[in-house]
A and B are shown apart, each in its own frame.
Chain A
Amino acid sequence: MSAQTLYDKLWESHIVRREDDDTCLLYIDRQLLHEVTSPQAFEGLRLAGRKPWRIDANLAVADHNVPTVDRALGISDPVSKLQIDTLDENCAEFGITLFSMHDIRQGIVHVIGPEQGATLPGMTIVCGDSHTATHGAFATLAFGIGTSEVEHVLATQCLLQKKSKNMLINVVNKLGAGVTAKDLVLAIIGKIGTAGATGYTVEYGGEAIRALSMEGRMTVCNMSIEAGARAGLIAADDKTIAYLKGRPYAPQGELWEQGVAAWQKLQSDAGAFFDCTVHLDAYAILPQVSWGTSPEMVVPVNGSVPNPADEPDPVKRKGMEAALIYMDLQPNTRMVDIRPDKVFIGSCTNGRIEDLRAAAAVLKGKKIASNIRLAMVVPGSGLVKQQAENEGLDMIFKQAGFEWREPGCSMCLAMNADRLEPKERSASTSNRNFEGRQGQGGRTHLVSPAMAAAASVAGHFVDVREWEVN
């Protein structure tokens, strides 16, 4: 057999049936469910009189809509409550495992999959959420799907899919001190654009990727969709295996040993063909801050807001002009002169324990600036929260003036009460700076957890590398 990419291997091993036009019936090993994109799928199942094909392949959790304060009081918004109650009822009716809002294992769906070991190398994983590529950090083929496809997987354990093309993003050298996985992925999106990887499955490789922790790799894969790729992957190695060992849903004993032996082969073969290869030098990447309303609108922190007049493409120029009006920014403004009103640390991109540690390391012994109206930490799961509290990180955040919240998606998409008011500006560790994403009229600047923490203390964006020196 000719040399294969990791994606080729994962794809081939999951084909149940191939049609003449190369549409494949692809087997799905794990489906993660949440309250927003599943109710209509369960309803469809009921209306057609169908049953889930393989109940134990599904794992459900409420995350998008849950309150991050005063959980004991329940959910005050009746519309949100109905959606979460509907998930509870659907899981009870069909026998699907659900981590309820009061379960310590509850959290953001893409945080809890790996945390529980429900994400395993060699799997296909889907979820009705575009950030499902997060799980690709474990050499899984993981991608976001719509509600019709959620229903399809529930009913058949399969999806009808056409194979994407292969893209390799090769990052040579290592990231410098104070430069994180978030900066790396923002720099990648800035380079290839928000549709740069549309139609591709991206494999991230090279020394910088190998050097990342599993959590850093999850941050990188998480934002693949922000470059247009449904799936992003990273080859399995010793870190992958060490991360999963002993997790509740991971296999044990003899099965674990067999799994490990197989997972060690989950890499692209030497000489495998990629339709497109992109090279980046990690040394050259600085801490990043987004300035506009698309994740591709990003610059290094020592840079300035670009001038649309310098953009030759008229469609792009128009997009930049609209972004500057929405963001209320002038061309050539230095990024370090931009002052956020709110700071949000959390999300499926940056809500894990290492993210909280990185932010706390910057905040220790300091206070948030007077212009910061609200600074909040929303841990990615109940277990992340517990771990952080065991390490005393919650005290560092609280002493600095941060609010310490319950786990959920929170202000990443502002479906619950956590949001920006019109014209408010955020430093946010989330993944999207779209118009209205964090609240109607809200203005989002995407950054790493350390950069968000530093901005909260300085009251404006700063280069966290200099911050650490001072």
Chain B
Amino acid sequence: MQAFTTLEGLVAPLDRSNVDTDAIIPKQFLKSIKRTGFGPNLFDEWRYLDHGEPGVDCSDRPLNPDFVLNQKRYQGAQILLTRDNFGCGSSREHAPWALLDYGFSAIIAPSFADIFLNNCCKNGVLPIVLPVKQVDALFQAVEKTSSYRLKIDLEHQTVSTPDGALLRFDVDPFKKECLLNGFDDISLSLQHAEEIKQYEQRRKSSEPWLFTAAAEK
């Protein structure tokens, strides 16, 4: 995975709570067997006025002028500012893949859905939880300031605003380590292959009924 260390980028606001993964990337695009190419269909049903299908060239499709990401001032945004419970719903990792493919590497919200948050961290997308009041203030600042940019420093767990405020955020230490280094956590787990084998042997003798093989039937 791509490492996340620092990011200085344009902020785009999505002022809705409970944005679900069906909204982030609608189901028809989940038929792809790849990890890339989802960016043009990010928020497809809000972003375009017509119905999107896989394989259709999105550059010819009518844009919804009312959708915030279509506004000129937010083109090239890398940081998404949003509300509570972002990423709720399905476990589809296509959601962070689409955000990343579009250009977002960090998302700021008062809270995230669990599976989505986990999926982001596996793909170099940093979910940042900030208190509601700070998020409110950021929404106001983005609204009234053109080209509003934030600087994110994962190592020091800070978000710096243009007026010099330093907002601190919490992050799980293990997820932080993986993001900072772009670790493949399968390799990390396989360093403990011997322990996994020993555990398996112990449980095969203590709970043998759980090891009746599906394939044997």
Contacts and interface: CB of A to CB of B under 8 A. Distances in A.
Interface of A: 16-17, 19, 21, 23, 25, 27, 29, 36-37, 39-40, 43, 48, 50, 53-59, 64-65, 77, 79-80, 82-83, 86, 95-97, 118, 120, 122-123, 128-130, 132, 144-149, 151-152, 155-158, 160, 162, 194-195, 198-199, 225, 228, 230, 248-251, 255-256, 258-259, 262, 294, 315-316, 318-319, 322, 413-415, 432, 434-437, 440
B89 interface: yes
B61 interface: no
A40 B118 contact: no
B190 A37 contact: no
A152 B26 contact: no
Nearest to A262: B207
A212 B89 CA distance: 26
B144 interface: no
Contacts of B92: 36-37, 146
Given A37-B92, A129-B91, A155-B186, A57 B115 contact: no
Interface string B35-52: 100000000010000010
B130 to A, nearest CB: 15
Given A16-B192, A25-B192, 9 more contacts: A25-B196, A97-B215, A120-B209, A122-B210, A130-B89, A162-B174, A199-B114, A248-B217, A432-B22
Given A40-B33, A259-B209, A434 B16 contact: no
A318 B82 CA distance: 14
Nearest to B50: A440
Given A145-B91, A198-B111, A160 B192 contact: no
A273 B203 CA distance: 27
A58 B209 CA distance: 16
Contacts of A436: 22-23, 26, 45
A277 B144 CA distance: 43
Given A122-B210, A145-B91, A79 B215 contact: no
B31 A65 contact: yes
B211 to A, nearest CB: 8
B22 A435 contact: yes
The 4 closest A-B pairs by CB, nearest first: A56-B213, A259-B209, A146-B93, A146-B119
Contacts of A59: 214
Contacts of B145: none
B35 A40 contact: yes
B83 interface: yes
Given A37-B92, A148-B119, A160-B185, A255 B85 contact: no
B214 A56 contact: yes
Contacts of B174: 19, 21, 23, 160, 162
B186 A86 contact: no
A415 to B, nearest CB: 5
Contacts of A57: 214
A146 B118 contact: yes
Given A156-B186, A437-B22, A195 B88 contact: yes
A156 B33 contact: no
